[in-house]
Amino acid sequence: MATWIFSDPFRALGLWTAAAAAIVLLWYLARRPAPTRATKLALLLGIGVLPIATAGTGNLAGYEATKERPFCSACHVMTPYGDDAASAASRSLAARHSRNAAFGHESCYTCHADYGMFGTVATKLGGLRHVYEYARRYRSMPVDEFLATIEIRRPFPNATCIRCHSTVNPGWTAIGDHASALAEVRAGTVACASEGCHGPAHPFSKEARKARKARAGAGEAAP
Amino acid sequence: MRWLAQRLGVIDPSRLLRASAALTLAALALMVWSMLQPTPLPVMLAMTVGQALGTLAFALYGYVVIADVWRGRRARRARRASDAGTGGGDAGEAAR
For chain A, the residues whose C-beta falls within 8 A of a C-beta of chain B are 11, 14-15, 18, 21-22, 25-26, 28-29, 32, 34-35, 40, 43-44, 46-48, 51-52, 54-55, 58-59, 61-62, 65-66, 68, 70-71, 74-75, 131
Q: What is the mean predicted confidence (pLDDT) over A129-142?
A: 88
Cβ atoms of A114 and A160 closer than 8 Å: yes
**Which region among A14-28, A188-202, B57-71 has the lowest average model confidence (pLDDT)?**
A188-202
Chain A residue numbers touching B14 (CB-CB < 8 A): 32, 34-35
Q: Which domain holds residue A135?
A: 69-156+193-217
Q: Are residues A77 and A132 in the same domain?
A: yes
Q: pLDDT-based confidence at B60, cuts 50/70/90?
A: very high
pLDDT above 70 (res A114): no
How many domains would you assign to chain A? Answer: 2
Mean pLDDT computed over every residue of chain B: 86
Is A117 domain-assigned?
A: yes
Q: Are residues A143 and A198 in the same domain?
A: yes
Q: Are residues A81 and A149 in the same domain?
A: yes
pLDDT above 70 (res A3): no
Among A65, A88, A109, the domain boundary falls at: A65
Could you tell me if B30 lies within 8 Å of chain A, comparing CB atoms? no
Gap from A33 CA to chain B (nearest CA, Å): 9
Find how far residue A104's CA is from the centre of its chain: 12
pTM of the model: 0.77
Q: In the prediction, which pLDDT does A41 show?
A: 93
**Which region among A63-77, A119-133, B47-61 has the lowest average model confidence (pLDDT)?**
A119-133
Chain A residue numbers touching B43 (CB-CB < 8 A): 62, 65-66, 71
Gap from B72 CA to chain A (nearest CA, Å): 12
Which of B21, B31, B61 is opposite residue A18, by nearest beta carbon?
A: B31
* Residue A35, CA atoms < 13 Å, CB-side half-sphere: 15
Q: Are residues A8 and A59 in the same domain?
A: yes
Among A13, A42, A65, the domain boundary falls at: A65
Instruction: Kindly indicate whether the ipTM for this predicted assembly is greater than 0.90, answering yes or no.
Output: no
pLDDT above 60 (res B13): yes
pLDDT above 50 (res A180): yes
Q: What is the mean predicted confidence (pLDDT) over A121-143?
A: 85
CB proximity list for B65: less than 8 A, separation 6 or greater:
A40
Name which of A24, A32, A44, A47 to mutate to probe chain B: the one with the most chain B Cβ atoms within 10 A of its Cβ: A47
Cβ atoms of A168 and A56 closer than 8 Å: no
Q: What is the mean predicted confidence (pLDDT) over A116-130?
A: 74
Q: Are residues A121 and A207 in the same domain?
A: yes
Is A26 domain-assigned?
A: yes
Q: Are residues A76 and A152 in the same domain?
A: yes
Q: In the prediction, which pLDDT does A219 show?
A: 66
Distance CA A7, CA A25 (A): 29
Name which of A26, A54, A72 to mutate to probe chain B: the one with the most chain B Cβ atoms within 10 A of its Cβ: A54
Q: What is the DSSP letter of A45?
A: I
Q: Are residues A80 and A131 in the same domain?
A: yes
